[in-house]
Amino acid sequence: MRIGFTANGRPVVADDVWEGESLLYVLRERLGLPGSKNACEQGECGSCTVYLDGSPVCSCLVAAGQVAGREVRTVEGLAGEDGLDPVQQAFLDAGAVQCGFCTPGLLVQTHALLERDPHPSDAGIREALSGNLCRCTGYEKIMDAVRLAAARRSTRTEVDG
Amino acid sequence: MEFLRPATWDEALTLKAELPQAVPIAGGTDVMVELNFDRRRPPALLDLGGVAELGGWESDGAVVRLGASVPYTRIIEELSGPLPGLALAARTVGSPQIRNRGSVGGNLGAASPAGDSHPPLLAAGRGVQVEAASVRGTRLIPIDAFYLGVKRHALEPDELIRAVRIPVADGPQQFSKIGTRNAMVIAVCAFALALHPDDRTVGTGLGSAAPTPRRAVEAEEFLAGALAEGGLWESGGALDGAVARRFGELVAAAASPIDDVRGSAQYRRHALAVMARRTLAWCWAEYGERLERSAA
């Protein structure tokens, strides 16, 4: 079947989509958006996290047909024209990327956390990221990165503000 | 495989009647796992995402009519007041991403003995009903009669879950769940307790402790009797430790657990007794505070 939706602000169309196919497969294999990672295929790891109509979801658990006409934002859509999103820059600066496989999911989930709660507590960060697994176990650096991103965002908001 | 996208509830019912083997999909958090792992190849998926009324809830102050596909995140944010037990259980479902998609309708449709919604639904009172609809009409299935076996429920092949009707809490409710960590946990076992001061009854629900979610009826009757006998519903006075222990024993006795990868039957019985005592202590403390507040 043919599926049309909006990916990172642009209309996209995927053809020959199998009816049981996941959104993750369509993104990676049909639309050239391999940023979202395929690991567990059962919602355990969070590596495939994308925004669907503004809510972070595991794209491996969304049937492709369900996104027809809807808006998807992937890790590729976080950076703006003026460079990386502050969350991405904070992950780089804090050394929160080891093998990097879990990073795209963590970036989207952290982005969503800070949109909802610009000043999260440590407990709030752990809860928000509880569905994203890092097999390198670099969780402390990831916590540092989220705190750094939150601090920078609030500074930026004050300057802009 | 076909992909069916009804735009209205009537259209969804018509499609389900025409092709009863079509598997309904809303959040996809159970169905897609089965597809991804080649465990299931239904002739069709029936996407309920376009049926707006499934995604909302309404309340007349006495009963909440919870649409089948309202995600857990919204239950936590919007229904912690009227449905505290269900909201507590919702907080323990999967991860934030899963809670943004998963729903009580999906939990009921999957009818896993480990589903987190089931214990608080069983505990929430005798008025909990699953609203099952087909082109033939709508019927209300009492929650006690809904679960028939492991992953089997009382729906007819042409029926879909429209909503669940849940009485608004009239007393404290608690939920407790055993797992290896605080997220992404399929319950080793789970327990829900609700006190119903209006009719002086007690509600319980056991999860992952038998082929189906079930109540501990004897434990409910014992506790309601002990509270009435001691005049405790009126006084909110201290609970005898022996009452709490006996309540825990009766809850454990109501289970028929198995040994599996998540835990042994013996451990599950032990844990259920502990959770029953703890949730009783939490509920009773809250009940006492409420009485004090209303007296002040």
Mean pLDDT per 10-residue interval, chain B, length 296 residues = 97 98 98 96 97 97 98 98 98 97 98 96 96 98 96 97 98 96 90 97 97 97 97 96 98 95 94 98 97 88
Segment A43-59 shows an average pLDDT of 97
Could B32 and A66 be called an inter-chain contact, meaning their C-beta atoms sit closer than 8 Å?
no
Q: Which amino acid is at B155?
A: L
Say what the pLDDT of residue B33 is. Answer: 97
Residue ranges per structural domain of chain A = 3-77, 86-160
Is the pLDDT reported for residue A160 higher than 80?
no
Confirm whether B136 is domain-assigned: no
Q: Give contacts of B 41-80 with A, CB under 8 A.
A: 41, 44-45, 47, 49, 73
Segment A108-113 shows an average pLDDT of 98
Tokens, residue A43? 């919602």
Find chain A residues with C-beta within 8 A of B35's C-beta: 20, 22, 63
| Rounded Cα gap, residues B136 and B134, in angstroms | 5
Q: What confidence category does residue A154 fall into, taking pLDDT thresholds of 50, 70 and 90?
A: confident
Confirm whether B77 is domain-assigned: no
| Chain B residue closest in CA terms to A2 | B3
Whether the Cβ atoms of residue B101 and residue B71 lie closer than 8 Å to each other: yes
Interface test with B, best of A36, A53, A57 (most B CBs within 10 A): A57
Give the residue numbers in A contacting B (CB under 8 Å), as ranges.
1, 18-20, 22, 41-44, 46, 49, 55-58, 60-63, 65-66, 68, 109, 127-128, 130-132
Confirm whether B239 is domain-assigned: yes
Find chain B residues with C-beta within 8 A of A18's C-beta: 1
Cβ-based burial of A20 (10 A; exposed 0-12, middle 13-18, buried ≥19): buried
Q: Which residues contact B156 (CB under 8 A, 6 or more apart)?
A: B132, B134
What is the topology classification, in CATH, of domain A86-160?
A: DNA polymerase; domain 1 (1.10.150)
What's the structural domain count of chain B? Answer: 1
Say what the pLDDT of residue A157 is. Answer: 65
Say what the pLDDT of residue B184 is. Answer: 86
* Predicted complex: ipTM over 0.90: yes
Give the tens place of pLDDT for each residue, A3-13.
Answer: 999 999 999 99
Say what the pLDDT of residue B185 is. Answer: 87
Terminal CA-CA length for chain B: 64
Q: Going by DSSP bridges, is the β-strand pair B23-25/A71-73 parallel, antiparallel, or unpaired?
A: unpaired
Find chain A residues with C-beta within 8 A of B45's C-beta: 19-20, 63, 65
Over its C-alpha atoms, chain A yields an Rg (Å, rounded) of 16
Find chain A residues with C-beta within 8 A of B182's C-beta: 130
Which CATH entry fits the domain spanning A3-77: 1.10.10.10, 3.40.920.10, 3.10.20.30, 2.40.70.10? Answer: 3.10.20.30
Q: What are phi and psi of B32, to 5 degrees?
A: -70, -30
Say what the pLDDT of residue B50 is. Answer: 95
Confirm whether B59 is domain-assigned: no
Say what the pLDDT of residue B183 is. Answer: 86
Residue range of the domain that includes B205:
173-295
Is the pLDDT reported for residue A158 higher than 70?
no
Say what the pLDDT of residue B96 is. Answer: 97
Q: Which CATH number fits the domain that encloses residue B223?
A: 3.30.390.50
Say what the pLDDT of residue A161 is. Answer: 47
Nearest to A20 among B45, B94, B100 (CB): B45
Confirm whether B55 is domain-assigned: no
Say what the pLDDT of residue A159 is. Answer: 58
Q: Which residues contact A103 (CB under 8 A, 6 or more apart)?
A: A91, A96, A97
CB-side exposure of B267: number of CA atoms within 13 Å? Answer: 12
Segment A29-45 shows an average pLDDT of 97
Among B240, B247, B241, B235, residue whose Cα is nearest residue B290:
B235
Nearest to A65 among B3, B182, B184 (CB): B3
Confirm whether B182 is domain-assigned: yes
